[in-house]
Structure 1
Amino acid sequence: MAITASQVNDLRKKTGAGMMDCKKALVEADGDMEAAVDFLRKKGQKVAAKRGDNEAKEGLIFAESKGEVGYIIQLNCETDFVAKNEDFQNFVKSILEIGIKNDVTSVDDLKKLQYNEKLTVDEKLVEQIGVIGEKLDLTNFGKVSATTVVAYNHPGNQLAALVGLNKSGSESEDAGRQVAMQVAAMNPLSLKKEGISQEVIDRELQVGKDQAIEEGKPAELADKIAQGRLNKFFKENTLLSQDFVRDNKMTVEKFLNSVESGLTVTEFKRFSLS
Protein backbone atom coordinates (compact mmCIF):
# COMPACT_ATOMS: atom_id res chain seq x y z
CA MET A 1 0.00 0.00 0.00
CA ALA A 2 1.06 3.61 -0.56
CA ILE A 3 2.49 5.34 2.51
CA THR A 4 1.52 8.99 2.85
CA ALA A 5 3.70 11.82 4.10
CA SER A 6 1.17 12.37 6.88
CA GLN A 7 1.65 8.80 8.15
CA VAL A 8 5.42 9.19 8.08
CA ASN A 9 5.17 12.46 9.98
CA ASP A 10 2.85 10.94 12.61
CA LEU A 11 5.28 8.07 13.22
CA ARG A 12 8.19 10.48 13.42
CA LYS A 13 6.39 12.53 16.06
CA LYS A 14 5.58 9.38 17.99
CA THR A 15 9.06 7.84 17.98
CA GLY A 16 11.56 10.54 17.04
CA ALA A 17 12.96 8.32 14.29
CA GLY A 18 14.21 9.77 10.99
CA MET A 19 11.88 10.21 8.03
CA MET A 20 13.42 7.39 5.99
CA ASP A 21 13.38 4.99 8.95
CA CYS A 22 9.71 5.85 9.56
CA LYS A 23 8.79 5.28 5.94
CA LYS A 24 10.60 1.94 5.89
CA ALA A 25 8.89 0.85 9.10
CA LEU A 26 5.46 1.77 7.71
CA VAL A 27 6.17 -0.08 4.47
CA GLU A 28 7.22 -3.18 6.43
CA ALA A 29 4.07 -2.87 8.55
CA ASP A 30 1.71 -2.27 5.59
CA GLY A 31 0.78 1.12 7.06
CA ASP A 32 -0.10 -0.21 10.54
CA MET A 33 1.12 2.46 12.95
CA GLU A 34 1.50 0.20 16.00
CA ALA A 35 3.26 -2.49 13.98
CA ALA A 36 5.60 0.20 12.62
CA VAL A 37 6.44 1.28 16.18
CA ASP A 38 7.20 -2.35 17.04
CA PHE A 39 9.41 -2.60 13.95
CA LEU A 40 11.46 0.39 15.16
CA ARG A 41 11.67 -1.12 18.66
CA LYS A 42 13.06 -4.35 17.25
CA LYS A 43 15.56 -2.33 15.27
CA GLY A 44 16.61 -0.68 18.53
CA GLN A 45 17.12 -4.07 20.16
CA LYS A 46 19.32 -5.19 17.27
CA VAL A 47 21.41 -2.01 17.40
CA ALA A 48 21.68 -2.28 21.19
CA ALA A 49 22.99 -5.83 20.88
CA LYS A 50 25.57 -4.76 18.30
CA ARG A 51 26.76 -1.70 20.24
CA GLY A 52 26.64 -3.20 23.71
CA ASP A 53 30.43 -3.26 24.07
CA ASN A 54 30.91 0.28 22.78
CA GLU A 55 32.00 3.03 25.13
CA ALA A 56 29.47 5.75 25.92
CA LYS A 57 31.60 8.55 27.34
CA GLU A 58 29.64 11.53 26.04
CA GLY A 59 26.16 12.55 27.15
CA LEU A 60 24.22 15.02 29.25
CA ILE A 61 23.64 15.74 32.93
CA PHE A 62 20.76 17.81 34.27
CA ALA A 63 19.93 18.81 37.85
CA GLU A 64 16.63 20.38 38.91
CA SER A 65 15.44 21.73 42.25
CA LYS A 66 11.86 21.58 43.44
CA GLY A 67 12.34 23.54 46.67
CA GLU A 68 12.75 20.90 49.34
CA VAL A 69 13.87 18.19 46.92
CA GLY A 70 16.21 18.08 43.96
CA TYR A 71 16.89 15.49 41.27
CA ILE A 72 19.85 14.85 39.00
CA ILE A 73 20.19 12.60 35.94
CA GLN A 74 23.04 11.40 33.71
CA LEU A 75 22.41 9.79 30.32
CA ASN A 76 25.47 8.77 28.31
CA CYS A 77 25.83 8.38 24.56
CA GLU A 78 28.78 7.66 22.28
CA THR A 79 29.40 10.97 20.54
CA ASP A 80 29.37 14.68 21.28
CA PHE A 81 27.35 15.14 18.07
CA VAL A 82 24.39 13.29 19.60
CA ALA A 83 24.78 14.98 23.00
CA LYS A 84 24.44 18.40 21.38
CA ASN A 85 21.32 17.42 19.45
CA GLU A 86 18.19 19.21 20.68
CA ASP A 87 16.03 16.08 20.36
CA PHE A 88 18.45 14.15 22.58
CA GLN A 89 18.49 16.97 25.14
CA ASN A 90 14.69 16.97 25.24
CA PHE A 91 14.69 13.18 25.60
CA VAL A 92 16.97 13.36 28.66
CA LYS A 93 14.79 16.06 30.19
CA SER A 94 11.67 13.98 29.57
CA ILE A 95 13.16 11.08 31.54
CA LEU A 96 14.17 13.46 34.33
CA GLU A 97 10.59 14.76 34.53
CA ILE A 98 9.28 11.20 34.84
CA GLY A 99 11.71 10.59 37.70
CA ILE A 100 10.60 13.81 39.41
CA LYS A 101 6.90 13.07 38.95
CA ASN A 102 7.29 9.60 40.47
CA ASP A 103 9.82 10.69 43.13
CA VAL A 104 12.29 7.88 42.46
CA THR A 105 15.82 7.76 43.82
CA SER A 106 17.67 5.24 41.66
CA VAL A 107 18.35 4.28 38.04
CA ASP A 108 16.74 0.86 38.49
CA ASP A 109 13.48 2.35 39.78
CA LEU A 110 13.47 4.95 37.01
CA LYS A 111 13.90 2.36 34.25
CA LYS A 112 10.83 0.46 35.45
CA LEU A 113 8.51 3.48 35.15
CA GLN A 114 6.19 4.02 32.20
CA TYR A 115 7.57 6.42 29.63
CA ASN A 116 4.27 6.39 27.78
CA GLU A 117 1.22 4.14 27.50
CA LYS A 118 3.15 1.41 25.70
CA LEU A 119 6.80 1.63 26.79
CA THR A 120 8.73 1.72 30.04
CA VAL A 121 11.69 4.08 30.33
CA ASP A 122 14.03 1.13 29.76
CA GLU A 123 12.13 0.08 26.62
CA LYS A 124 12.10 3.67 25.37
CA LEU A 125 15.89 3.79 25.77
CA VAL A 126 16.20 0.69 23.58
CA GLU A 127 13.89 2.24 21.01
CA GLN A 128 16.01 5.41 20.96
CA ILE A 129 19.17 3.35 20.44
CA GLY A 130 17.61 2.25 17.16
CA VAL A 131 16.59 5.82 16.31
CA ILE A 132 19.97 7.37 17.14
CA GLY A 133 22.21 4.45 16.20
CA GLU A 134 24.38 4.77 19.30
CA LYS A 135 24.66 3.04 22.64
CA LEU A 136 22.72 4.89 25.37
CA ASP A 137 23.37 4.29 29.05
CA LEU A 138 21.23 5.75 31.84
CA THR A 139 24.22 5.95 34.16
CA ASN A 140 23.06 7.89 37.21
CA PHE A 141 19.93 9.24 38.86
CA GLY A 142 19.79 10.76 42.33
CA LYS A 143 17.71 12.77 44.76
CA VAL A 144 18.53 15.18 47.59
CA SER A 145 16.00 16.18 50.26
CA ALA A 146 16.51 19.11 52.65
CA THR A 147 14.92 22.31 53.92
CA THR A 148 16.26 23.95 50.75
CA VAL A 149 17.81 22.22 47.74
CA VAL A 150 19.79 24.19 45.16
CA ALA A 151 20.71 22.87 41.70
CA TYR A 152 23.68 23.96 39.60
CA ASN A 153 24.10 23.00 35.94
CA HIS A 154 27.51 23.81 34.51
CA PRO A 155 27.46 25.26 30.97
CA GLY A 156 27.48 22.42 28.46
CA ASN A 157 25.57 20.09 30.81
CA GLN A 158 28.46 17.68 31.32
CA LEU A 159 28.59 18.47 35.03
CA ALA A 160 25.91 19.27 37.61
CA ALA A 161 25.43 19.34 41.37
CA LEU A 162 22.70 19.40 44.01
CA VAL A 163 23.22 20.90 47.47
CA GLY A 164 20.83 20.49 50.40
CA LEU A 165 20.75 23.15 53.14
CA ASN A 166 19.27 23.14 56.63
CA LYS A 167 17.68 26.59 56.30
CA SER A 168 15.53 28.49 53.80
CA GLY A 169 15.38 32.06 52.52
CA SER A 170 16.87 34.00 49.64
CA GLU A 171 20.26 34.49 51.32
CA SER A 172 20.50 30.78 52.07
CA GLU A 173 19.59 29.92 48.49
CA ASP A 174 22.23 32.28 47.11
CA ALA A 175 24.84 30.79 49.43
CA GLY A 176 23.72 27.31 48.42
CA ARG A 177 24.16 28.19 44.77
CA GLN A 178 27.74 29.29 45.45
CA VAL A 179 28.43 26.09 47.37
CA ALA A 180 26.88 24.02 44.56
CA MET A 181 29.37 25.66 42.19
CA GLN A 182 32.11 24.76 44.69
CA VAL A 183 30.96 21.13 44.65
CA ALA A 184 31.05 21.13 40.85
CA ALA A 185 34.52 22.69 40.71
CA MET A 186 36.28 20.95 43.61
CA ASN A 187 34.62 17.50 43.60
CA PRO A 188 34.62 16.79 47.36
CA LEU A 189 34.43 13.15 48.38
CA SER A 190 32.14 13.76 51.35
CA LEU A 191 30.55 16.41 53.50
CA LYS A 192 32.81 15.83 56.53
CA LYS A 193 35.76 13.59 57.33
CA GLU A 194 33.37 11.19 59.06
CA GLY A 195 32.00 10.39 55.63
CA ILE A 196 35.34 9.12 54.31
CA SER A 197 35.49 5.32 54.37
CA GLN A 198 38.01 3.54 56.57
CA GLU A 199 39.40 1.87 53.47
CA VAL A 200 40.29 5.25 51.96
CA ILE A 201 41.75 6.48 55.26
CA ASP A 202 43.94 3.38 55.60
CA ARG A 203 45.16 3.77 52.03
CA GLU A 204 46.02 7.45 52.49
CA LEU A 205 47.89 6.69 55.72
CA GLN A 206 49.90 3.94 54.03
CA VAL A 207 50.71 6.12 51.02
CA GLY A 208 51.73 8.99 53.30
CA LYS A 209 53.96 6.71 55.35
CA ASP A 210 55.59 5.18 52.26
CA GLN A 211 56.22 8.61 50.78
CA ALA A 212 57.81 9.86 54.01
CA ILE A 213 60.19 6.90 54.11
CA GLU A 214 61.04 7.32 50.40
CA GLU A 215 61.82 10.98 51.08
CA GLY A 216 64.36 9.91 53.66
CA LYS A 217 62.38 10.85 56.76
CA PRO A 218 63.19 8.87 59.94
CA ALA A 219 61.03 5.76 60.25
CA GLU A 220 59.92 6.77 63.75
CA LEU A 221 58.44 9.99 62.32
CA ALA A 222 56.73 8.38 59.30
CA ASP A 223 53.47 7.70 61.11
CA LYS A 224 53.24 11.28 62.37
CA ILE A 225 53.99 12.66 58.93
CA ALA A 226 51.38 10.36 57.40
CA GLN A 227 48.78 11.61 59.88
CA GLY A 228 49.58 15.19 58.94
CA ARG A 229 49.13 14.39 55.29
CA LEU A 230 45.85 12.64 56.07
CA ASN A 231 44.60 15.81 57.77
CA LYS A 232 45.51 17.74 54.62
CA PHE A 233 43.63 15.14 52.57
CA PHE A 234 40.55 15.68 54.76
CA LYS A 235 40.75 19.44 54.29
CA GLU A 236 41.05 19.18 50.52
CA ASN A 237 38.40 16.49 50.02
CA THR A 238 35.60 17.21 52.51
CA LEU A 239 33.23 19.98 51.46
CA LEU A 240 32.82 21.90 54.70
CA SER A 241 36.59 21.90 55.32
CA GLN A 242 37.59 22.98 51.81
CA ASP A 243 38.82 26.51 51.21
CA PHE A 244 35.92 28.50 49.77
CA VAL A 245 36.76 29.11 46.11
CA ARG A 246 35.51 32.70 46.16
CA ASP A 247 37.51 33.58 49.28
CA ASN A 248 40.23 31.12 50.23
CA LYS A 249 40.74 32.88 53.54
CA MET A 250 37.75 30.98 54.88
CA THR A 251 36.42 27.44 54.64
CA VAL A 252 33.04 26.58 53.15
CA GLU A 253 31.75 25.99 56.67
CA LYS A 254 32.83 29.48 57.79
CA PHE A 255 31.39 31.04 54.65
CA LEU A 256 27.98 29.52 55.34
CA ASN A 257 28.08 30.71 58.94
CA SER A 258 28.99 34.20 57.75
CA VAL A 259 25.78 34.24 55.70
CA GLU A 260 23.61 32.99 58.55
CA SER A 261 24.60 31.50 61.88
CA GLY A 262 24.10 27.73 61.84
CA LEU A 263 23.60 27.50 58.08
CA THR A 264 25.16 24.33 56.73
CA VAL A 265 25.00 21.69 54.01
CA THR A 266 23.20 18.49 54.93
CA GLU A 267 23.76 16.53 51.70
CA PHE A 268 25.11 16.95 48.18
CA LYS A 269 25.37 15.04 44.92
CA ARG A 270 27.64 15.64 41.94
CA PHE A 271 27.60 13.91 38.54
CA SER A 272 30.26 14.46 35.89
CA LEU A 273 31.08 12.95 32.51
CA SER A 274 34.81 13.06 33.32
Structure 2
Amino acid sequence: MSISAQDVKELRDATGVGMMDCKKALEEADGDFDKAVELLRKKGQKVAAKRADREAEEGLVVTSISEDASTGAIVEVNCETDFVARNDDFQSFADRVADIVLNEQPGDLESLHALSYNGERTVKEELVRLTGRIGEKLAIRRFDVLETEEGDVVSYIHPGSKLGVLVVLTGEDEQAQLDVAMQIAALNPVAVSRDEVPESVQEKEKEIARDAAISEGKPEHIIDNIVEGKLNRYFQDNVLLEQDFVKDASTSVQEMLDEAGVEIKTFVRYALGN
Protein backbone atom coordinates (compact mmCIF):
# COMPACT_ATOMS: atom_id res chain seq x y z
CA MET A 1 0.00 0.00 0.00
CA SER A 2 1.03 3.62 -0.47
CA ILE A 3 2.46 5.36 2.58
CA SER A 4 2.09 9.13 2.51
CA ALA A 5 4.73 11.58 3.67
CA GLN A 6 2.22 12.87 6.23
CA ASP A 7 1.85 9.38 7.72
CA VAL A 8 5.61 9.07 8.00
CA LYS A 9 5.86 12.50 9.62
CA GLU A 10 3.18 11.67 12.20
CA LEU A 11 4.99 8.47 13.15
CA ARG A 12 8.28 10.36 13.30
CA ASP A 13 6.75 13.01 15.57
CA ALA A 14 5.25 10.36 17.84
CA THR A 15 8.34 8.18 18.19
CA GLY A 16 11.35 10.35 17.37
CA VAL A 17 12.67 7.60 15.08
CA GLY A 18 14.25 8.46 11.71
CA MET A 19 12.05 9.02 8.66
CA MET A 20 13.28 5.97 6.72
CA ASP A 21 12.75 3.64 9.68
CA CYS A 22 9.26 5.09 10.16
CA LYS A 23 8.41 4.51 6.51
CA LYS A 24 9.66 0.91 6.65
CA ALA A 25 7.66 0.27 9.84
CA LEU A 26 4.47 1.65 8.27
CA GLU A 27 4.99 -0.46 5.15
CA GLU A 28 5.55 -3.57 7.26
CA ALA A 29 2.45 -2.74 9.30
CA ASP A 30 0.33 -2.12 6.17
CA GLY A 31 -0.25 1.44 7.29
CA ASP A 32 -1.45 0.52 10.80
CA PHE A 33 -0.08 3.33 12.98
CA ASP A 34 -0.22 1.49 16.33
CA LYS A 35 1.35 -1.62 14.86
CA ALA A 36 4.13 0.49 13.35
CA VAL A 37 4.82 2.04 16.74
CA GLU A 38 5.07 -1.43 18.27
CA LEU A 39 7.43 -2.58 15.51
CA LEU A 40 9.72 0.38 16.18
CA ARG A 41 9.67 -0.35 19.92
CA LYS A 42 10.65 -3.97 19.29
CA LYS A 43 13.43 -2.84 16.98
CA GLY A 44 14.77 -0.58 19.71
CA GLN A 45 14.70 -3.45 22.21
CA LYS A 46 16.54 -5.73 19.78
CA VAL A 47 19.26 -3.13 19.18
CA ALA A 48 19.60 -2.54 22.92
CA ALA A 49 19.91 -6.28 23.60
CA LYS A 50 22.40 -6.74 20.77
CA ARG A 51 24.66 -3.99 22.08
CA ALA A 52 24.25 -4.72 25.80
CA ASP A 53 27.78 -6.12 26.12
CA ARG A 54 29.40 -3.16 24.37
CA GLU A 55 31.49 -0.62 26.29
CA ALA A 56 29.85 2.79 26.64
CA GLU A 57 32.68 5.01 27.84
CA GLU A 58 31.88 8.26 26.03
CA GLY A 59 28.98 10.54 26.85
CA LEU A 60 28.10 13.66 28.80
CA VAL A 61 28.10 15.06 32.31
CA VAL A 62 25.16 17.46 32.73
CA THR A 63 23.60 19.42 35.57
CA SER A 64 20.24 20.97 36.40
CA ILE A 65 19.65 23.66 39.05
CA SER A 66 16.32 24.70 40.62
CA GLU A 67 15.11 28.26 40.05
CA ASP A 68 15.87 29.23 43.65
CA ALA A 69 19.31 27.54 43.48
CA SER A 70 18.50 25.46 46.57
CA THR A 71 18.82 22.12 44.75
CA GLY A 72 21.06 20.79 42.01
CA ALA A 73 21.36 17.52 40.12
CA ILE A 74 24.34 16.10 38.27
CA VAL A 75 24.07 13.12 35.90
CA GLU A 76 26.45 11.07 33.74
CA VAL A 77 24.90 9.57 30.60
CA ASN A 78 27.04 7.29 28.45
CA CYS A 79 27.29 6.21 24.82
CA GLU A 80 29.87 4.35 22.75
CA THR A 81 31.37 7.17 20.67
CA ASP A 82 32.11 10.87 20.98
CA PHE A 83 30.21 11.35 17.71
CA VAL A 84 26.97 10.30 19.41
CA ALA A 85 27.82 12.40 22.48
CA ARG A 86 27.56 15.42 20.15
CA ASN A 87 24.20 14.24 18.78
CA ASP A 88 21.37 16.70 19.50
CA ASP A 89 18.92 13.97 20.48
CA PHE A 90 21.40 12.39 22.88
CA GLN A 91 22.17 15.76 24.44
CA SER A 92 18.46 16.54 24.79
CA PHE A 93 17.92 13.18 26.48
CA ALA A 94 20.75 13.81 28.95
CA ASP A 95 19.43 17.27 29.80
CA ARG A 96 15.91 15.93 30.27
CA VAL A 97 17.15 13.16 32.57
CA ALA A 98 18.98 15.74 34.68
CA ASP A 99 15.72 17.72 35.00
CA ILE A 100 13.86 14.56 36.03
CA VAL A 101 16.49 13.76 38.68
CA LEU A 102 16.25 17.33 39.98
CA ASN A 103 12.46 17.30 40.21
CA GLU A 104 11.85 13.70 41.33
CA GLN A 105 15.04 12.90 43.28
CA PRO A 106 14.93 9.10 42.77
CA GLY A 107 16.77 6.94 45.26
CA ASP A 108 18.69 4.85 42.74
CA LEU A 109 19.05 4.08 39.04
CA GLU A 110 16.25 1.52 39.06
CA SER A 111 13.88 4.11 40.48
CA LEU A 112 15.04 6.66 37.90
CA HIS A 113 14.44 4.19 35.05
CA ALA A 114 10.85 3.71 36.24
CA LEU A 115 9.98 7.43 36.25
CA SER A 116 7.92 9.05 33.52
CA TYR A 117 9.99 10.60 30.75
CA ASN A 118 7.31 12.55 28.89
CA GLY A 119 4.03 11.16 30.15
CA GLU A 120 3.93 8.45 27.48
CA ARG A 121 6.91 6.25 28.36
CA THR A 122 9.34 5.68 31.20
CA VAL A 123 12.95 6.84 31.26
CA LYS A 124 14.01 3.23 30.60
CA GLU A 125 11.65 2.93 27.64
CA GLU A 126 12.96 6.20 26.22
CA LEU A 127 16.51 4.95 26.68
CA VAL A 128 15.69 1.79 24.73
CA ARG A 129 13.87 3.79 22.04
CA LEU A 130 16.83 6.13 21.62
CA THR A 131 19.23 3.19 21.54
CA GLY A 132 17.27 1.71 18.64
CA ARG A 133 17.25 5.01 16.83
CA ILE A 134 20.93 5.89 17.32
CA GLY A 135 22.28 2.34 17.07
CA GLU A 136 24.70 2.54 20.02
CA LYS A 137 24.58 1.32 23.58
CA LEU A 138 23.31 4.13 25.80
CA ALA A 139 23.24 4.13 29.60
CA ILE A 140 22.63 6.38 32.58
CA ARG A 141 25.65 5.64 34.76
CA ARG A 142 25.13 7.69 37.92
CA PHE A 143 23.56 10.77 39.45
CA ASP A 144 23.67 12.88 42.60
CA VAL A 145 21.49 15.58 44.12
CA LEU A 146 22.68 18.35 46.46
CA GLU A 147 20.29 20.46 48.53
CA THR A 148 20.78 23.40 50.86
CA GLU A 149 18.62 25.51 53.15
CA GLU A 150 21.30 28.18 53.31
CA GLY A 151 23.25 29.51 50.35
CA ASP A 152 23.18 28.27 46.76
CA VAL A 153 23.93 25.20 44.73
CA VAL A 154 26.26 26.26 41.91
CA SER A 155 27.19 24.17 38.87
CA TYR A 156 30.13 24.22 36.50
CA ILE A 157 30.42 22.17 33.34
CA HIS A 158 33.81 22.18 31.66
CA PRO A 159 33.69 22.77 27.86
CA GLY A 160 32.95 19.48 26.15
CA SER A 161 30.69 18.28 28.99
CA LYS A 162 33.11 15.56 30.09
CA LEU A 163 33.61 17.09 33.53
CA GLY A 164 31.11 18.71 35.86
CA VAL A 165 30.83 20.04 39.41
CA LEU A 166 28.03 20.82 41.85
CA VAL A 167 29.01 22.87 44.91
CA VAL A 168 27.04 24.25 47.85
CA LEU A 169 28.21 27.75 48.84
CA THR A 170 27.16 30.70 50.95
CA GLY A 171 28.05 34.29 50.08
CA GLU A 172 27.17 36.73 47.32
CA ASP A 173 30.39 36.87 45.27
CA GLU A 174 29.41 35.05 42.07
CA GLN A 175 32.94 35.18 40.64
CA ALA A 176 34.35 33.53 43.75
CA GLN A 177 31.61 30.89 43.52
CA LEU A 178 32.56 30.16 39.92
CA ASP A 179 36.27 30.20 40.74
CA VAL A 180 35.92 27.57 43.45
CA ALA A 181 33.78 25.36 41.18
CA MET A 182 36.48 25.61 38.50
CA GLN A 183 39.14 24.85 41.14
CA ILE A 184 37.33 21.64 42.02
CA ALA A 185 37.08 20.70 38.35
CA ALA A 186 40.75 21.38 37.69
CA LEU A 187 42.46 19.95 40.78
CA ASN A 188 40.06 17.19 41.89
CA PRO A 189 40.23 17.63 45.68
CA VAL A 190 39.25 14.65 47.83
CA ALA A 191 37.47 16.73 50.48
CA VAL A 192 36.62 20.29 51.51
CA SER A 193 38.74 20.19 54.68
CA ARG A 194 41.25 17.80 56.20
CA ASP A 195 38.67 16.77 58.82
CA GLU A 196 36.66 15.17 56.03
CA VAL A 197 39.51 12.98 54.76
CA PRO A 198 38.75 9.39 55.93
CA GLU A 199 41.02 8.06 58.63
CA SER A 200 41.80 5.05 56.43
CA VAL A 201 43.15 7.36 53.71
CA GLN A 202 45.30 9.26 56.22
CA GLU A 203 46.72 6.04 57.65
CA LYS A 204 47.54 4.80 54.15
CA GLU A 205 49.40 8.03 53.36
CA LYS A 206 51.33 7.74 56.63
CA GLU A 207 52.24 4.14 55.83
CA ILE A 208 53.54 5.10 52.39
CA ALA A 209 55.57 7.98 53.84
CA ARG A 210 57.01 5.82 56.64
CA ASP A 211 57.99 3.00 54.26
CA ALA A 212 59.69 5.51 51.95
CA ALA A 213 61.63 7.11 54.82
CA ILE A 214 62.80 3.72 56.08
CA SER A 215 63.85 2.56 52.61
CA GLU A 216 65.83 5.78 52.18
CA GLY A 217 67.70 5.07 55.42
CA LYS A 218 66.40 8.06 57.35
CA PRO A 219 67.30 8.10 61.09
CA GLU A 220 64.62 6.56 63.27
CA HIS A 221 64.24 9.64 65.48
CA ILE A 222 63.15 11.88 62.57
CA ILE A 223 60.83 9.45 60.77
CA ASP A 224 57.71 10.57 62.66
CA ASN A 225 58.42 14.18 61.67
CA ILE A 226 58.91 13.14 58.05
CA VAL A 227 55.63 11.23 58.09
CA GLU A 228 53.79 14.22 59.57
CA GLY A 229 55.31 16.52 56.97
CA LYS A 230 54.31 14.20 54.13
CA LEU A 231 50.75 14.00 55.46
CA ASN A 232 50.52 17.79 55.64
CA ARG A 233 51.77 17.97 52.06
CA TYR A 234 49.07 15.49 51.06
CA PHE A 235 46.45 17.74 52.64
CA GLN A 236 47.84 20.79 50.83
CA ASP A 237 47.67 19.00 47.49
CA ASN A 238 44.32 17.24 47.93
CA VAL A 239 42.14 19.17 50.38
CA LEU A 240 40.23 21.97 48.69
CA LEU A 241 40.63 24.72 51.29
CA GLU A 242 44.38 24.08 51.57
CA GLN A 243 45.12 23.91 47.84
CA ASP A 244 46.87 26.76 46.07
CA PHE A 245 44.29 28.85 44.27
CA VAL A 246 44.65 28.03 40.55
CA LYS A 247 44.30 31.67 39.48
CA ASP A 248 46.85 32.93 42.03
CA ALA A 249 49.24 30.37 43.51
CA SER A 250 50.41 32.88 46.12
CA THR A 251 47.14 32.39 48.02
CA SER A 252 45.17 29.37 49.17
CA VAL A 253 41.57 28.61 48.33
CA GLN A 254 40.66 29.28 51.96
CA GLU A 255 42.24 32.74 51.79
CA MET A 256 40.51 33.53 48.51
CA LEU A 257 37.13 32.52 49.91
CA ASP A 258 37.66 34.44 53.15
CA GLU A 259 38.43 37.59 51.20
CA ALA A 260 35.32 37.12 49.04
CA GLY A 261 33.08 36.34 52.02
CA VAL A 262 32.19 32.93 50.58
CA GLU A 263 32.00 29.63 52.46
CA ILE A 264 31.89 26.21 50.83
CA LYS A 265 29.79 23.45 52.38
CA THR A 266 30.15 20.43 50.10
CA PHE A 267 30.68 19.43 46.48
CA VAL A 268 30.30 16.63 43.94
CA ARG A 269 32.68 16.25 40.99
CA TYR A 270 32.00 13.97 38.00
CA ALA A 271 34.66 13.18 35.42
CA LEU A 272 33.37 11.06 32.55
CA GLY A 273 34.11 7.39 33.22
CA ASN A 274 35.66 7.92 36.67
Q: Is the TM value for this pair above 0.5?
A: yes
- Give deviations 1:169-193, integer Å, cap 9, x for gaps: 3x2x321111111111111111122
Give me the whole-angstrom Cα distance separating, in 1, the residues matched to 2:23 and 2:187.
Answer: 49
Give me the whole-angstrom Cα distance separating, in 1, the residues matched to 2:223 and 2:130.
Answer: 56
- Give deviations 1:244-265, integer Å, cap 9, x for gaps: 11112222121111012xx311
1:223 to partner: Cα distance: 4.1
Residue type of the alignment partner of 1:226: V
Normalising by structure 1, what TM-score?
Answer: 0.90
Structure 2 CA distance for partners of 1:213 and 1:25, relative to 1, 3 Å: farther
Residue 82 (str. 1) matches residue 81 (str. 2): no
- Give deviations 1:216-269, integer Å, cap 9, x for gaps: 323554443233212211221121121111112222121111012xx3111111
Give me the whole-angstrom Cα distance separating, in 1, the residues matched to 2:232 and 2:40.
Answer: 56
Question: More deviation in 239-248 or 63-72?
Answer: 63-72
Q: Which residue of the other structure, out of 65, 73, 76, is the alignment partner of 2:75?
A: 73
- Give deviations 1:6-41, integer Å, cap 9, x for gaps: 222222223222222222222233333333232222
Identify the residue that residue 270 of structure 2 maps to in structure 1.
271
Q: Deviation above 3 Å: which 4+ runs of structure 1?
A: 103-109, 218-224
- Give deviations 1:39-77, integer Å, cap 9, x for gaps: 222222222222222111110111233212222111010
| Count of aligned positions | 269
Give me the whole-angstrom Cα distance separating, in 2, the residues matched to 1:6 and 1:186.
Answer: 54
Q: Secondary structure of the residue that 1:271 maps to in structure 2?
A: strand
Give me the whole-angstrom Cα distance separating, in 1, the residues matched to 2:165 and 2:8.
Answer: 40
Give me the whole-angstrom Cα distance separating, in 2, the residues matched to 1:45 and 1:219.
Answer: 65
Q: Secondary structure of the residue that 2:64 maps to in structure 1?
A: strand
- Give deviations 1:100-151, integer Å, cap 9, x for gaps: 2324465343222101233110121111111111111101211222321111
Give the conservation status (yes or no) of the 8 Å contact 1:106–1:142: no
Identify the residue that residue 64 of structure 2 maps to in structure 1.
64
Residue type of the alignment partner of 2:196: G
Give me the whole-angstrom Cα distance separating, in 2, the residues matched to 1:134 and 1:111.
Answer: 18
Residue 155 (str. 1) matches residue 159 (str. 2): yes
Unaligned residue ranges in structure 1 (runs of 5+) = none
Normalising by structure 2, what TM-score?
Answer: 0.90
Give me the whole-angstrom Cα distance separating, in 1, the residues matched to 2:255 and 2:64.
Answer: 26
Root-mean-square deviation over aligned CA pairs: 1.9
Give me the whole-angstrom Cα distance separating, in 2, the residues matched to 1:39 and 1:196.
Answer: 53
Identify the residue that residue 9 of structure 1 maps to in structure 2.
9
1:213 to partner: Cα distance: 2.3
